[in-house]
Structure formats: structure tokens, C-alpha cells
Amino acid sequence: MKLITIIGARPQFIKAAPFSEMFREENEEILVHTGQHYDTNMSDVFFDELGIPRPDYNLEVGSGSHGLQTGRMLEKIEELITIENPDGLLVYGDTNSTLAGALAASKLHIPVFHVEAGLRSFNKRMPEEQNRILTDHVSDLLLCPTQTAVNNLKKEGITIGVLNTGDIMFDVVLRNIEISKSRYSNGVWIDKLREKNENIPSLKEKEYYLATIHRAENTDDEMKLFEIFSAFERMDKPVILPIHPRTRKLIDNLDIKLDNVILIKPVGYLMMLYLTANAYMVVTDSGGLQKEAYFLKTPCTTLREQTEWVETLENGWNVLSSINIDTILKTVRRELDCLKYPQPMLFGDGNAAEHICNAILKGGK
């Protein structure tokens, strides 16, 4: 079988790695990077460390408005499909690349396979939510990470071609966490952080918060940023925050003195896994990090009004917080009852890549 896979950002390469490895044993995969997100960390080390195949094509679309970006990708992906004539096209998640790939294939009557189908935050103001819904409604195989996702699709009248495969990110975490531990334990993680960042204090595992802030709904609102970072300053443990240069400039404009917040340059996937596994708590607005925290049994506070990963909310592993200093502080200081009980296995058996591969080979011919 010949398959085109569309990728738009570094996290999607990581997500796709276990499937690609399995599928390529007996089939052909054409990996297409749209270039939706330019990432300086996409170096040889990134691909070699994680065993990730390099893209066959880079469309170099770059940034722009949602319409402009999606339109450019749609045009270029359509051209590639015509050249390669695949048996199907695979997309991941909910980016503009996901939607562009699905639309291009659907209009050319090429079967569309959507990994992470059925997710819903029920907030259509989010571009990701629009991308999810539209992609699901043109897909032929809807490869869901959880039963909740299957149920969401059923409510929208989609029942054919729907399969609960489990979450492929669970596969990724399971296959990389031991590598991460062997590389960064025994204080090596602090030494590595100090190589690229000044003023890293002495820190111990489980005695820091790990935070990420990147969603436009937070970073584009000066008042929300002020509330978030004011809360970080009042937390009872240091806050490690890998930060993008753009967000760093926005914070500097707030004129907040950051004594409790340790700003570090973006880190690689294996280091991020280590920091997540060993944090007292994760505080984030990221969908993916909420889930990785859950997989690694680290409590999480999500700085959003809703989440597409509702399963993480069970038993208080993840708790949503509105953007308010007092609310954030109250949420992170909660009793961690989740640690007292066995964690429910809601994201599959860690073999999602195999289930996805079998489903595509069976349904994509």
C-alpha cells in the first residue's frame, strides 16, 4: 500500500513515529511536511534520537492567516497527490495542515484516514475545533484515541469507519520515557539545562512546577498573561517555563518581576518528558502536555475553560482553571487525591500504532 502522511509541526513528527516504523515494514509511506510551523529544533539530532523518518517533501508554507496558510497547503498537497497517486492519505490531530490534507484528498476521491478523530472541546472559536470537525466529516477512517471520541462522532451521525484504536501518544511516551530517564537522571537534567540557560538554581525532582503557555487565547490577551504570571510568582515552588521568544517579548512588556519563574529556552522531547515525569504538577494550556502528564502520572492544572481530553479530568488528575490569580492558586494548591488511587487506563493498551496500521491496511484497499 502507498500512503501519503501529512505533518505540520514537530509534535506531529513525534506522534507519527511509531506508526511510520510499523507501516514501512511492508508498505510505502510518503511523508510530507507542510512547513506550517518552522522549528529550529528540527535538526539531525531530533530525527536520530527518536528514530523518526525525515520528510520526503517540505512544502515550506510558513506562517500567515488561517485562510492563507490553509489555501497554500491545499494547493500544494493537491499537486502532490496527483503526482504520487497514493492509495490513501493520513492526517494527525487538528492543525491547519490536518484540514488541508483531508480536503485535498477528499476532493480527489482519495481515502482519508484521521488519527485522533472525534476530539471535541465544544468551543468553535478555537481554530483547532473547526479543523477537527471538518476533517472528521470528510474522513473515511476515523481512528479515535478514546471511547469518548467515538461517542462524540456518534452524536454527530458518524458511525461508519469509526474505530477506537487507543492513543498513539501513549505509545510514544511508553517507548521514550525509559530513554529519557537513562539520559537525564542523577542530576544530569540540571547540568543540561545550565548549558543553554543562565541562572538555573539547584532543583530537585517533584519540587517544581512545569508550565507552558502558548495558546493565542492566553498569549494575545495582556490581562490574562498578567494574571497567569502573577499567579506563578505566588506559587509555593519554583515554576520552570520553556518559553518561545515571541511569548518572552510579551512577558517583558508586562513589567512583572519574575523571581519564582525560571524561564528556559525550548527543550527537546526527551528532556520535556523528563521534566514532566518529575514535576510536582504541570500547569499548561497545551492539549498534548495535559495528556502526557496523565500518562506519566503527574497531576495537571489546565489554564482553559474546557479541554478536548476530558478523560484526564477523571479522579482529579487534571483540573481546569479560569484565568484568575486566586483561582489558579486555589487549583494548584488542591489536595492531590488522584495519587491515592489506581489510575484508570482510558487511552488504550499502548499499541495504538499497531491497531491504526491494521485498520488502514484492512480498510484502505
Task: For residue 251, name the pLDDT band (cuts at 50, 70, 90).
Answer: confident
Averaged pLDDT for residues 13-39: 91
User: What average pLDDT does range 199-212 have in this prediction?
Assistant: 95
pLDDT at 32 over 70: yes
pLDDT tens for 219-233 read: 889 999 999 999 999
Task: Using the predicted structure, report yes or no on whether residue 344 has a pLDDT greater than 50.
Answer: yes
Q: What proportion of the chain, given as a percentage, has pLDDT over 90?
A: 78
CA dist list (Å): 305 to 102, 170, 301, 308, 334: 28, 24, 11, 11, 18
For helices 287-295 and 168-184, the axis angle rounded to 10 degrees is 70
Letter string b/e over residues 66-82, b meaning 16 or more CB atoms within 10 A of that residue's CB:
eeebbebbbebbbebbe
Report pLDDT digits (tens) over 109-119. Answer: 999 999 999 99
pLDDT at 364 over 60: no
In the predicted structure, residue 286 carries a pLDDT above the cut 80: yes
d(CA 189, CA 200): 11
Residue 120 has pLDDT above 90, yes or no: yes
- Please say if the pLDDT value at position 77 is more than 50: yes
pLDDT digits (tens, 9 = 90+) for 42-62: 666 678 878 889 999 999 887
Mind telling me the catalytic residues?
Answer: 214
What pLDDT was estimated at residue 75? 96
Confidence grade of residue 365 (pLDDT, cut at 50, 70, 90):
very low
> In this predicted structure, what is the pLDDT of residue 41?
60
What integer best gives the mean pLDDT of the chain? Answer: 93
Regarding predicted confidence, which is higher, 215 or 262? 262
Q: What is the pLDDT of residue 42?
A: 61
CB 91 within 8 A of CB 113: yes
Alpha-carbon dihedral of residues 183, 11, 15, 105, nearest 10 degrees? -160
pLDDT tens sequence across 142-192: 999 999 999 999 999 999 999 999 999 999 999 999 999 999 999 999 999
Four-point Cα dihedral 262, 268, 271, 273, nearest 10: 110
Domains along the chain with CATH numbers: 2-167+349-363 (3.40.50.2000), 171-340 (3.40.50.2000)
Do 318 and 288 meet the contact criterion of CB atoms below 8 Å apart?
Answer: no
